[in-house]
Structure formats: structure tokens, C-alpha cells
Chains A and B, each alone.
Chain A
Amino acid sequence: MATVSMTVNGKTVTGEIEGRTLLSHFLREGLGLTGTHIGCDTSQCGACVVHVDGKAVKSCTMLAAQADGCTVTTIEGLARGDQLHPVQAAFREHHGLQCGFCTPGMIMAAVDMIERHGGKLDEATIRHELEGNICRCTGYHNIVKAIKAAADEMSGSVATAAE
């Protein structure tokens, strides 16, 4: 067992882990942050996506030990109190989910995608960028609509703030 320390959703946390402990396992079992989902055993589904040092990664494909000293944001870290993150609000508004299992990974991927593209997202880009996130319910259509709406809103708010 080894001790890891990292910042998760703004709080410094420490925990005891094995060498083989996955970051997803540490978040869920060690910290009780069960919003990060595990939908497959093959690193394909993207339900476990979190941000490590500001970049979207599959937390099931990274050892917890590798995240020692890193800054991690999970789905639980997006909202500000009762105020949903714009991407969360857009998923609700546009019904970008059915069963909801893939949603945490979808939203974390979407936030990363919007930040990288500076809010300039068209439908083709969104669909290409979602290759690492699998949804078995929606057919993706409303997920794409939600991300487009959130990107438009977030880029608008950036423009407003800059004026």
C-alpha cells in the first residue's frame, strides 16, 4: 500500500492505494464520488471520463498512483451549489440522456471539448469528438444538440465578459 495525495474538486485528499488501484476505483471506493461511472472493462465506453490537470482522461485507464499530486475534477465538481454547469443545464434542457449512465462521462468530455475549441463547435466536430463516449440509449442526437447549445452559450458568455 502507498499513500497518494491529490486535489479533487478543489479539496486536497489523501488515501491508501495499491499499485494496481485505478483512478476510477479510488474516486468511487476511496472518496465515495460515485458519479464517475464504470461502464466497461475495456477502456472504450468513456463513462469514467474525468479531468486530470485540466484534460479529459479515462479514469479507468490511469493508475491512482499516476494521479498523485494532480488536480482532478469529476462530475461532482462542476455545479456551483444548486447552479448547474452550463453543459449540465443544456443536457437537461435538450434531454441529452435517457438512462443517464453515460452522462457523467459525456458531460466531462463535452466540457473539455468546448474548452479546447473555444466554443466554436459544429455538429460534425462534436460527433467526431464524441468517439470516446458510448451511449446505448439516445442515438446521440440530443447529446449533440445539448453540447452545441452549451458551446454557443458558453462562447457567448465569454464574448460578453470580454466586452
Chain B
Amino acid sequence: MYATNYHRAGSVDEAAGLLAGNDEAKVLAGGQTLIPTMKQRLAAPTDVVDISRIEALRGIEKSGDAYVIKAGTRHADVAGDAGLKADIPGLAALAGKIGDPHVRHRGTIGGSIANNDPAADYPAGMLALGATIVTNKREIAADEFFAGLFETALEEDEIVTAVRVPVPAKSAYSKFPNPASRYAMAGVFVAKFADGSVRVAATGAGADGVFRIPEMESALASNWSPEAVAGIAVDASGLLGDIHGSAEYRANLVTVMAKRAVAAA
């Protein structure tokens, strides 16, 4: 790892101040992606601004018919939250499948979505649940937030402070993890809402990161069953192909994961 200057921010405002005007600074939340990347010298920020000790960024609370999950909430805490397990079981289960227990003790929901790794799990959950991403500057719909590989709508000194997740009628996530890294080869989150609408999002497979699958959404809105999506295949031309699996292989996985998710919901 190259040398870096460590700063511990006591508040979101202090963190934003440390980031402002410094293109080479990075926010450090749980560090489960940033630190490995720095160890590999794939990232070399001159400064890291640690927001993981900011108490105001921790916690999960129900607010009306939605949950507000603060950005610094660890994966293990989302996975184990009794309210989420009852009301948004797909999201709690998703958090419990990220990485391994040690990663889940450090990694945060805000860090995961701000990084927008194309194989990360949370982006699929946020997109399928129609979550709102809350930052220190504004609120951004998940549909507008995820903007491509490791790209988001966030500005340089903008920090995710929370996500607001509507409670669906049904939700589930099914993922085919890479056996070594546990990142998703394909992961599909399905959500059905009280008004009958359905949202489906896939991670791990898209060449531009997480994406929705409108054909599956309309099929499931009229027939909520695994059979409704069994015959729907996403176009392999927009998918990732690498040593772990071709684009065609991932296209098939997306359909299989979608079927499993609907069956589990």
C-alpha cells in the first residue's frame, strides 16, 4: 500500500470538509473494498477520511411504510435486524450473504452502494425495492443513482448518509456466488408491492452494472410465479463475460436466479 494520510471524521460535515477540494481523497467506511484495493495498489488516495466512527450514521428505524437504514450500518446488523427480517426479508437475507462473517462485521450499506461494484449485492436490492439514496446534499432515486461500472450519481464531496427503503408485500434475493470470492456471478432481487407492481433487478451480470428487467417485471405483475419468468432470457450482448463465466452463461443464470427468487419470496 502506498502512503496515505488518515483522518477520522467526527461528523458528516467534517468529512465533507476534508473531501472538499481534494480530488485524491477517499471516504473510508467499512473498508472491505477500499483497503484491499489500496493493498493491491489499484487505488492510492493521498488521504482517507474515516466515517466509520460517526454514531449518527448508524442504525435502522421504521418510518411510516419504509425503513431508514443509516449508511454506516454494518451488513451483519442489517442481516440480523428483527424488523427487516419480518418486513423486507429479501434485504435482510441479501445482507447475510455478502462476503463472509468478518466482512459483514465491517462492511457498510452506504459503502457498498457508493462503490457500486458490478458484482455487489446491495445495488440489486436498492434498485428492485425502489429505494431512495439520501446524501448530505439531496435525495436520489435508486433508478437515477446507479450509473455504470463503479459509477454513481454522487459528486466528489457528496456522502451517502442513509437509504430509505419502502416495505414491499414480498421480496427475495437469489444469488449464484463465485465459489472463491463470494461475489455474485448473477444475483436477482424481486420485489412485489401492495399496488401489485413488481420490480426485478440483477447484479453480477451486467456489463454496465446493476440493471432492471422490465420483461420479468410485467410478467410477474400478471402472474407471480417462477414459471412466469422461466421463458424470459436477458440479452447476452449486454452482459459481462470473463474467466468465471461467459455472457451467455450469465444470461442463463439470471433467469435461474429470478425463478429461485420468486419461489423463495
How many A-B contacts are there with CB distance less than 8 Å? Answer: 82
Which chain A residues numbered 43 to 83 have a C-beta less than 8 Å away from chain B?
43-44, 46, 49, 55-58, 60-63, 65-66, 68
Q: What mask results when residues 118 to 146 of chain A are scored 1 for a CB within 8 Å of chain B, else 0?
A: 00000000000101110000000000000
Q: Given the known inter-chain contacts A49-B102, A131-B100, A131-B182, please indicate yes or no for A65 contacting B36, CB distance below 8 A.
A: no
Q: Which residue of A lies closest to B105 (CB)?
A: A55
Q: Is the CB of B36 within 8 A of A42?
A: yes
Which chain B residues numbered 62 to 106 have a C-beta less than 8 Å away from chain A?
76, 99-103, 105-106
A20 sits at the interface (CB 8 A): yes
Q: Is the CB of A44 within 8 A of B6?
A: no
Q: Which residue of B lies closest to A50 (CB)?
A: B102
Taking a contact as CB atoms closer than 8 A, the residue among B5, B38, B52, B105 that contacts A56 in the complex is: B105
Question: Main SS of the interface on chain A?
Answer: mixed
A77 to B97, CA, bound (A): 30
Q: Is the CB of A41 within 8 A of B106?
A: no
Given contacts A55-B76, A56-B105, A65-B6, could you give 9 more A-B pairs where the C-beta distance is less than 8 Å? A20-B6, A22-B35, A22-B39, A57-B106, A58-B106, A62-B106, A63-B50, A65-B50, A131-B182
Cβ contacts A to B, 16 pairs, < 8 Å: A19-B5, A19-B48, A20-B1, A20-B4, A41-B40, A56-B101, A57-B106, A58-B102, A61-B31, A65-B6, A66-B8, A66-B28, A66-B31, A66-B50, A113-B101, A131-B182
Chain A residues near B (Cβ < 8 Å): 2, 18-20, 22, 41-44, 46, 49, 55-58, 60-63, 65-66, 68, 109, 112-113, 129, 131-133
